[in-house]
Amino acid sequence: MVKPLKPHSGYLVLNCKRLCCPFLNFSSKPDFDNRGLSNLVHRVCEILSNPRIPWRGSSELKSLTPKLKPYHVAKIIETYHSTDSVLQFFYWVSKRHFYKHDMSCYVSMLNRLVKDKNFAPADHVRILMIKACKDEGEIRWVVDFLNEISGRGLTHSLYSFNTLLIQLGKFDMVAAAQRL
């Protein structure tokens, strides 16, 4: 297990929901965009489930993917029935030039893989998550999240630990890296 970093700055605590739960919205106004969210997520899940047409060759999926945002992908990961298929979709959509995963996608995918005890692909997703960190706040949050899921069986591999050390070094967090 990696030791927790120094206590969170106010920035990190305030942005935790933004990082991992962007679709939580507390408002008395109806969320009209939610219907679009559920329709798009539902349609993509239907395409992934179609046994007659391989989803990678689906022209409809290719036309829908520019509309996908990270919160849609996170919802697809959480709701689609096949972990293997949704993992392949996770990789596939990340290669689209107009799309980039955010932390909520990585969190959803890691939670799903760890829950299913699918540790080899989880290690790869963890490495991608570490590499995707854009600033010190994100890397601190990721270290804490990874510590949390390590208690559920996902221990660090040599490669993931080295990736974490390199990323901490990129953000001049040498002291934090030494404490790991």
pLDDT digits (tens, 9 = 90+) for 62-96: 999 999 999 999 999 999 999 999 999 999 999 99
Instruction: Give the other-Cβ count within 10 Å of 110's Cβ.
Output: 23
Query: Cα–Cα distance between 55 and 44 in angstroms, integer?
Result: 9
pTM: 0.80
Give yes or no for a contact between 149 and 110, defined as CB atoms under 8 angstroms apart.
yes
pLDDT of residue 7: 46
| 101-137 pLDDT tens trace | 999 999 999 999 999 999 999 999 999 999 999 999 9
Angle at 26 between CA 145 and CA 31, to 5 degrees: 115
